[in-house]
Amino acid sequence: MNNAILIVDDMEINRVILAEGFRDEYEILEAENGIQAIELLNTNNNIAAVLLDLIMPEMDGMGVLKQMNESGRIVHIPVFIITAESSEKMLMDAYNLGAVDVINKPFMMNFLKCRIGNIIELYRHRNDLEDIVNEQVERLNKVNLSMVETLATLIEFRDCESGEHVKRICGLTEILMTAVSEMYPEYYLPRHEIEKIVTASILHDVGKIAISDSILNKPGRLTKEEFEIMKQHTTKGCDILTQIPDIMDNDIYNYSYDIARHHHERWDGRGYPDGLVGDDISIWAQVVAIADVYDALVSPRVYKKAFDFETAVKMINDGECGTFNPKVLNAFNASADKIRFKE
C-alpha cells in the first residue's frame, strides 16, 4: 500500500511544518524544486500524495503537473497545491492539469490531515478497483484469445497444408509491423496496437472454413473457376467474423475483419476482392499480405516443394508474387535476418 507523502516546496519552513504534521502516519519525502520532485516520482512507487508548491526555481509546479500528466501518474496520485496568494488563473490551470485541492497558507494541520487523508483513501479504493477490473479484463482477453486460436486451429485441420502457418504468420507480422512502424513515421503504431494486429492476423484465413475440401486441398493447380471460388475465402471470412464480434476486443475485431478481407490486395490494384490500390489498403493488411506470401513460398505444398530463403526473398522483390508497397518491401528486406531466424 502506498504510504509516502511527497512535499515539494522551495521554502524549507513550509516543508518542515507539513512534514511534522504527517510524519506519524506517512513516510515523508521532500523536494525543493520540480526537478527533484520528478526524480522522486520516477524512483519511488510508494507515493500516496503530492503536496506541491506552484512557484519554485528550476521547474515550477506547473512543470511537475505537466510531467505527471505525460507519465499518467496524475491519474493515480492526488496532487494538492500549496499556495498563499497564487492567481485565480494559475489555480485554474493547476486544476485543469489534474490537481485535486488547494492547501492555503497558513496551514491548519488538523483540518488539512483530514482532507488529505480522505482523498488518499478515495484514490486507494479507486486504484484497487481499477486493478481488479484490469485483472478481469486480462483474464477475459486470455479466454477470448484462446477461442480465437481454437478457431484458427480448426482452419488448419481443414487446410491440411497449413501446418504451423498461423503461428508463423503471427511471428512474421510482429517483425514486419515493428520494422515498418520504426522505419516510416507515417505508419507508426504504438506497441499495444501492433500486439492487437498480431493477434488479428491469426484469423486472416478464417474464410477457408467455408471453402470445399475438393478445392482447399486439391493436389495441383486450381482451374480458373476453382480459383474464383478460393478467392471467396476473403469475403466469407468477413461473413464469419460478423457472427462472432463479441468474442474479442473491439479493436482486434476491426483489425481481423480488415485483414481477412484485404490480405490478398496488391499495391498496384491487381489483388482481390476489392481491387484496392496503394495506401487504400491498410498498412496491417499490407504487412500480413507479404507475410502470407513469404510463408507460402518457404513452406511445402502438395503441388510444390518449399523454396529456400534466398529464392523466396528474390521472388518477392522481383514481383513474381504481386506488387507490394516499396516501403513494406524495404522493411521486409531490412528484417531479413530476423525473418530467416523465424524459419
Q: Is the pLDDT of residue 167 over 90?
A: no
Annotated active-site residue in 66, 142, 208, 305: 208
pLDDT digits (tens, 9 = 90+) for 99-152: 998 888 777 888 888 888 888 888 888 887 777 777 765 665 665 666 666 666
pLDDT digits (tens, 9 = 90+) for 14-36: 999 999 989 988 999 999 999 99
Inter-residue contact 202 to 156 (CB < 8 Å): no
Active site residue 327: no
- CA–CA separation, 328 and 334 (whole Å): 10
Q: Is the pLDDT of residue 309 over 70?
A: yes
Domains and CATH numbers, the chain: 4-131 (3.40.50.2300), 159-342 (1.10.3210.10)
- CA–CA separation, 16 and 264 (whole Å): 68
Percent of the chain with pLDDT over 90: 52
Inter-residue contact 247 to 146 (CB < 8 Å): no
pTM over cut 0.75: no
- CA–CA separation, 256 and 230 (whole Å): 19
